[in-house]
A = this chain, B = another copy of it.
Amino acid sequence: MDEPVLLTGAGGAVGEAILNGIGTEYYWRLMFHSPPVENPNHEYVVGDVANDEDVAEAMDGVGAVIHLAGDPRPEAPWSSVLTNNIDGTQRMYEAALDEGVDRFIYASSNHAVGAYEDERKPDLYRPHDEYQLDGTELPRPSNLYGVSKAAGEVLGRYYHDTHDIDVCNIRIGNLTKGHPPIDYERGQAMWLSYRDCAHIHECALEADYDFEIVYGISDNDRKYYSIERAKEVLGYEPQDNSAHFEGEKRVVEPDA
């Protein structure tokens, strides 16, 4: 891709993982909410996804978008996710269409479907449990942040169906650097390593598709999110598995 790839929310962990892994593969334009502390070594803008002018400036000349920006807190209040996540995503899509962007990759979240866990936990966090969500299920958010992410997916469906733009929604699991979460089975089940995070976003930039909802997790033994769709359509080949870290005896099983 010759045109810049706009990466919003570049200051967050997902942005860090992507730039660590594929920072030299693309011509990036980063969008930060606050001025970066260190020089990012890429073209960048500072702005707010809730501001039309900031978004238009960020989108100028862009060929593809990876939209990570938003309030990332599962406990974020409604007023914040309404503005930053729902309204901000709609503004990003409109600006992308105005600019003729071909492809929009959206950071959705496990929280869009978190309430499916209620009836089966903690069994579904364990390798023996066969239950898996695959992205065809209706959203069941576990918090208002999850509602906002599900709404972002619906916005993507609408803009894909009514305009000529490819959309990939990646329901990102639990991204941690270097090591899966400790003593947290749910996080181990949905662990996404930094290198798998970079790889799935590269796949989403390169593969042929129309509209997708996929789970962005590593190939964990414990997983209850299917990664088959990501493998099949995006060519995703995860290298990590949270089970590979369990030999360190740092995982404590709760009472059965």
Contact = CB atoms under 8 A, between A and B. Distances in A.
A86 B138 contact: no
A94 B213 CA distance: 29
A158 interface: yes
B161 A115 contact: yes
A10 interface: no
Interface in A114-167: 115, 118, 136, 138-144, 146-147, 150-151, 154-155, 157-158, 161-162
A82 interface: yes
A181 to B, nearest CB: 23
A82 B143 CA distance: 19
A209 interface: no
Secondary structure call for the A interface = helix
B161 A146 contact: no
A184 interface: no
A78 interface: yes
A158 B115 contact: yes
B136 A162 contact: no
A140 B87 CA distance: 18
Contact of A151 (B138, B146, B154, B161): B154
A154 B161 contact: no
Given A86-B86, A161-B115, A154 B141 contact: yes
7 contacts: A86-B86, A138-B138, A139-B154, A140-B157, A141-B157, A146-B158, A154-B154
Interface of A: 78, 82, 86-87, 90, 94, 115, 118, 136, 138-144, 146-147, 150-151, 154-155, 157-158, 161-162, 213
Given A86-B86, A139-B157, A140-B157, 16 more contacts: A78-B94, A82-B90, A115-B157, A118-B161, A138-B138, A140-B158, A141-B154, A141-B157, A142-B158, A142-B161, A143-B158, A143-B162, A144-B158, A146-B158, A150-B151, A151-B151
5 nearest interchain CB pairs? A115-B161, A151-B151, A141-B158, A150-B154, A147-B158
